[in-house]
Structure 1
């Protein structure tokens, strides 16, 4: 079988080859006609890549080559070059799966960190006895319910209506109890593999442990026995003489059913989580798409649904079909807004066919799955960052929901990478992987070896056909000299890090931008930053050349840190603040907007208390060469929650999209009426362009005149009818920039 593979602007036909590749390479280097080729980067790269394949694979394995992205859930979402080492079990909200840098940045104590390999034992110790007791309570409840069912059957025709209604209520109670129990059985049956747990599920597991939800669920179920037992005795004693009384007593089932439905201890997953998603935003200053992090709320409800929420609007709702299978939480805002799946359950009695729709159009993506959501056979999966500027797919076969065999990576119908999964669903052999930030306009690939799912030996990172980074792995851990990429590496953020790994970062590390060192510092033997450092802004790119300069002690920022902006080769101080001995921000701070850039120079001024924003915070904006002017702000309470009247900026506020939201917060949640203001470039005259109400849960409700972003890069004003965050109807009024 021949496979056409498009890579580095060359077309290579892969055929069966033997293992004499090394000798072939040596012979090629000795040929005068080819010696010059090895000094021409593009030709050398192609030759080396081709020979590399000859070396690595025997004739029986030649067709099994290359593949997709960083191993799911094994590497950090925020520090993509770092492997996840620990699970945080502290009683607070965080991403839970932490790499070495995350643990340092969040200042988590060692007592609150569980090595990821030890997490199954931790869960078993916490939950095993409780789950056993939980099942015993369920057995007793089921036993009582069965007794009542038999009793009711004796009432005959005279009680037929009551009997029918009662049986329905009992069945619903049993379903509700089973529903609750399955959530805890999932902890034992599935989450023995912590590497496969999503960060959202980890947050909810740890939260449920701290809130003692399973213990309370057991207590609650025990309390359910009492009203049922009382009802049974009452029926046995009075059913002949007190038919009316019995009918009234049977209403307990209805009340109990409602009580169980509303019981929040039934489901350890129930709750809302504030997290970060990614959005492909078009920057009007640089005139290109940029991958940026954005705020996102994930809600699990008791109806086995997951809801994606942003600014009080429910963007997407999905049903969790199989509770014993980890649900894949979507982080791409483009996919949340635009991706739908068409399900045809008439394909077979036991199976259903799934087909992807993006912005209402069918894509050649999808496959066959069971009614429980178990994928089988050939599938075309969308890449994790699939969007309008990254139309990438994975194509291969599933065996009982595990990827097996050769999987191709495609842009539309062109293969750009591929690789092999073994029978256990682990990557093996040589791979060509997509980088996390891959897009049609920023082609970043990674080439290297896997062994039973772990990266080994040499890995290289390619950008626009050139090697720009990489290094060596030893059993999944980085060793020796490495060049890694900035978390937001893309065409406008060509930032790399250069230094050494000894299991963790060690010694001098430089931050390099366009072949110049712009920052860096030292790591100690524990992999902690030490001494003077110059760090780059999290959203650094060509038009956001912002640096932080200060001191680290034991991996924690200490003392005064200064912020500088570079523009037209001139360095300007942008802000400053102080870190206390715990590495937390303290006192007055001047710091930049998350999406600060040349066309959106915004700073915040306010006070921190041990890392928590308190009191009044003001927002300032500099339009072109003018002085900074206050345009927003409000107050935080002692817990860091927004309270009272606020003027919030649009997430991507800039010189052309000067949009401000004004309204009231209660305990960090938007409440009552909010207005939307817009100022045209250079006019300094904000006009009201929209308004509407938030309900008590912070969800948009009722009639709104609302500002919405569109895929066409045009921002528009809509008349929208909301019901508790769900869009009931919307009509476009006009484009914002008409």
Structure 2
């Protein structure tokens, strides 16, 4: 049995891949990626497909392949989307049965020779240096220690930017004891968060502190924590941190941006349950000595259930998305009127919301609600009717780019709450600089017939893509699609054929830098949508300002042998692409 990560609202959950029953199945998951423009996490949907040829394929919802694995490649569970795309383990020797085998880490096509260790009789043995579970570009942290028959023993250390930042001691049976400094689940360059305290027989006991710093050059500050009883259960007063707590400072186009998601929850635990009043605080100032400000909270009863009036931050609350929800709980369920408030630059901007029925947590009647990704440059509002907690009838999509909200889309739902008839939808990554709209029809909740893709650039609206949906809402025939992050500086489209929802044959990539689209990349998919043969593909951050492409061979969905890197200067387009490097991939 092998396991894969499923990224929903929580950082890590599991889905199972049963190798004994390898029928063709598809899972839709949601993963987190870091938005380098706004310096925040955002959610991206992707697919895990098990094919009849015993291949596991990861791809985006518009068919772009992220990774292809065979069954024997499933050495480690994959923890985030960057790992899916870039992290691989390589056996550097193939010994006879019952001999040791050495494994090293491959990251972005490069072998990290000092990372890894040995297996013996199927178990890790001896010294290992391995990436932490949430390893990615901004979280290149390693865990160093020894294994005995697959279990950690002795001293283990966390190493980050060549510095010791944590660790502790395992007993002979993989049991933690004594003083430990552990990293937060989402530890990264912009979220240097550690937990320090004592373990007793693998249970946290007594006082634990949560410490934070901007980076390794800053001092740690204590921003949270509390106590555990002898059973490892939280008790007494605590300060908890919101998931994905971070602070990120960057320079963009000569301007400095500070992106903050520093939210804490302060209150009391009794035997692991929150009780009494819990307050929510947020820090928005740019200096470490700035104070957390009260922004909400509410009360739990003696059983740990929410009751009475509450003010809660949205799941994506941060500096540029200060959205809170205010209303009443009864026995842990929302009831009556709830109000959504949005603040911009610390000033209340507007209010919306709707009503829950007396049963609790079921929306009813007319609602005006914000998109999940509502923020300063993505102000999208939906309005329409709920019946039994589901949308029905006409729902308008409104967007504010300047001062006023304007209708940019519309959806219709039938009495079974399925989308039906004419629809005008927006892309998942819609925002000010990427106003992509899809127009077409639904039948029984599935897309059907011809759909067209438009892009609004200032006052100009262009049709840039289109294609057909056939049986079961699957794409078929020739399509022109836009890149997921299509925007003014990244006008990239793809042209090719779908067969039963799967990309097949030759696909060509086009890019428009000034007036006309030019062919800039291409490659072929086999009948299972897996890349093979020679490809020219764009850098994942390709844009008008960063025109980098790669040329090389795919074999069964994996890069192998030599790949060459080329770059074109945006100010010297007539000179074409010039080779700037090459990478060798193991087969």
TM-score, normalization by structure 1: 0.58
**Superposition RMSD in Å:** 3.6
Equivalent in the alignment of 1:421: 170
1:200 and 2:46 matched:
no
Partner residue of 1:505 out of 274, 277, 291: 274
Contact 2:183–2:195 (CA<8 Å) still a contact in 1? yes
Task: Give the distance between the partners of 1:540 and 1:448, measured in 2 at CA.
Answer: 29
Deviation at 1:406, TM superposition (A): 2.8
User: How many residues end up aligned between the 2 structures?
Assistant: 477
Task: Give the distance between the partners of 1:584 and 1:576, measured in 2 at CA.
Answer: 13
Partner residue of 1:319 out of 67, 70, 89: 70
1:279 and 2:33 matched:
yes
Equivalent in the alignment of 1:139: none
Equivalent in the alignment of 1:559: 336
1:603 and 2:357 matched:
no
Q: Secondary structure at the match of 2:372?
A: coil
Listed as ranges, the matches of 1:418-567 within 5 Å are 418-464=167-213, 465-474=220-229, 475-491=231-247, 492-502=260-270, 503-514=272-283, 515-567=292-344
Task: Give the distance between the partners of 1:710 and 1:375, measured in 2 at CA.
Answer: 41
In structure 1, stretches of 5+ residues that fail to align are: 1-71, 81-94, 96-197, 206-260
Listed as ranges, the matches of 1:26-45 within 5 Å are none
Contact 2:486–2:492 (CA<8 Å) still a contact in 1? no
Equivalent in the alignment of 2:573: none
Deviation at 1:575, TM superposition (A): 1.6
Larger relative contact order, structure 1 or 2 (CA cutoff 8 Å, min sep 6)? 1
Listed as ranges, the matches of 1:32-431 within 5 Å are 78=9, 199-201=14-16, 267=21, 271-284=25-38, 289-300=39-50, 305-313=55-63, 314-321=65-72, 329-344=77-92, 346-349=94-97, 352-364=101-113, 365-369=115-119, 374-431=123-180
Task: Give the distance between the partners of 1:309 and 1:549, measured in 2 at CA.
Answer: 38
Task: Give the distance between the partners of 1:710 and 1:347, measured in 2 at CA.
Answer: 45
**Which sits farther off after the overlay, 421-430 or 512-521?**
421-430
CA distance change for structure 1 residues 673 and 470 in 2, over 3 Å: closer, same or farther?
Answer: farther
Q: Deviations over 1:535-584 (max 9, x none)?
A: 11110010111111100000100011011111234323332111121321
Task: Give the distance between the partners of 1:332 and 1:537, measured in 2 at CA.
Answer: 22
Task: Give the distance between the partners of 1:401 and 1:639, measured in 2 at CA.
Answer: 52
Task: Give the distance between the partners of 1:716 and 1:354, measured in 2 at CA.
Answer: 41
Contact 1:612–1:639 (CA<8 Å) still a contact in 2? no
Listed as ranges, the matches of 1:615-626 within 5 Å are 615-625=393-403
Task: Give the distance between the partners of 1:389 and 1:412, measured in 2 at CA.
Answer: 11
Contact 2:482–2:494 (CA<8 Å) still a contact in 1? no
Task: Give the distance between the partners of 1:609 and 1:663, measured in 2 at CA.
Answer: 25
Task: Give the distance between the partners of 1:667 and 1:424, measured in 2 at CA.
Answer: 56
Equivalent in the alignment of 2:530: none
Q: Which has the higher strand share?
A: 2
Contact 1:592–1:603 (CA<8 Å) still a contact in 2? yes
Deviation at 1:644, TM superposition (A): 4.2
Task: Give the distance between the partners of 1:404 and 1:642, measured in 2 at CA.
Answer: 56
Task: Give the distance between the partners of 1:331 and 1:671, measured in 2 at CA.
Answer: 35
CA distance change for structure 1 residues 540 and 561 in 2, over 3 Å: closer, same or farther?
Answer: same
CA distance change for structure 1 residues 337 and 707 in 2, over 3 Å: closer, same or farther?
Answer: farther
Q: Deviations over 1:35-71 (max 9, x none)?
A: xxxxxxxxxxxxxxxxxxxxxxxxxxxxxxxxxxxxx
In structure 2, stretches of 5+ residues that fail to align are: 214-219, 248-259, 284-291, 514-542, 546-587
Q: Deviations over 1:208-234 (max 9, x none)?
A: xxxxxxxxxxxxxxxxxxxxxxxxxxx
Q: Secondary structure at the match of 1:337?
A: helix
Task: Give the distance between the partners of 1:79 and 1:729, measured in 2 at CA.
Answer: 35
Q: Secondary structure at the match of 2:460?
A: coil
Over alpha carbons, which structure has the higher Rg? 1
Equivalent in the alignment of 2:539: none
After superposing on structure 2, the runs of 4+ consecutive aligned residues of structure 1 that deviate more than 6 Å are 710-714
Q: Deviations over 1:133-180 (max 9, x none)?
A: xxxxxxxxxxxxxxxxxxxxxxxxxxxxxxxxxxxxxxxxxxxxxxxx
Contact 2:330–2:360 (CA<8 Å) still a contact in 1? no
Contact 1:312–1:699 (CA<8 Å) still a contact in 2? no
CA distance change for structure 1 residues 639 and 594 in 2, over 3 Å: closer, same or farther?
Answer: same
CA distance change for structure 1 residues 571 and 423 in 2, over 3 Å: closer, same or farther?
Answer: same
Contact 1:579–1:585 (CA<8 Å) still a contact in 2? yes
Q: Secondary structure at the match of 2:319?
A: coil
Deviation at 1:331, TM superposition (A): 4.3
Contact 1:347–1:353 (CA<8 Å) still a contact in 2? no
Deviation at 1:601, TM superposition (A): 0.8
Q: Which has the higher helix share?
A: 1
Deviation at 1:396, TM superposition (A): 3.0
Deviation at 1:479, TM superposition (A): 0.7
